[in-house]
Amino acid sequence: MSRVSRFVFPAVLLASLVLVSGCMSGGGPEPEFAEGQPFPERTLNDQHGNPVELPGNARVILKTVEMAPADIANAVLGEMNAEEREGIVYIADIHEMPPQPMQNVVLPRMQARDYSIVVTNSEADAGFLPHEREQVTVILLDDEGVVTGVGHAGSEEALKDMLANAGE
């Protein structure tokens, strides 16, 4: 094998692998997410495996990634009755959680709750949504499913205030 071949062949192979992996990742751009844009439609499953259409009739979408914000969201939602939770969709972005604690601890706790928690299986499920570390992301929608505001809450009080103001 010539010197040129020894360098060109690995480069061509690497480029081919990158191209194939890009094609297998689903291709196409991520859904558009911005204020004034419709919330991207998708179907995910809740903690019981039931499909949940997003945005559906949601007026508020909550997203958490870390445990502390999840505790905030669960505390606030747990204090609300079903009527007060109407129009609120909670997404727990857990796709990076190790399978053992997910199956043995986290999922059983989620299943014990009396409200729906949408769970993620991959970054594509909710990775396009904004996120700030240790914060609950709060996305406000109008009646047509258009994003009207995005905020973050780092405490139960802040989340309660944001939810109270969402109806105004």
Mean of the per-residue pLDDT values of the chain: 86
Measuring CA to CA, which residue among 60, 46, 8, 23 is closest to residue 125? 46
pLDDT at 77: 98
pLDDT at 16: 44
- How many helices (H) and strands (E) the chain has is answered by 7, 7
How confident is the model over 17-43, as a mean pLDDT? 65
The Cα-based distances of 151 to 29, 99, 167 in angstroms read: 24, 30, 15
pLDDT at 166: 87
Whether 14 shows a pLDDT value over 90: the answer reads no
Distance CA 43, CA 125 (A): 9
Residue with tokens 């996305």: 139
pTM above 0.85, yes or no: no
Q: Which residues pair with 43 in a beta bridge?
A: 53
Going along the chain from its start, the domains and CATH numbers come out as 32-166 (3.40.30.10)
Q: How confident is the model at residue 27 (pLDDT cuts 50, 70, 90)?
A: very low
Residue 62 token pair: 């909550």
The Cα-based distances of 95 to 35, 121, 165 in angstroms read: 25, 5, 30
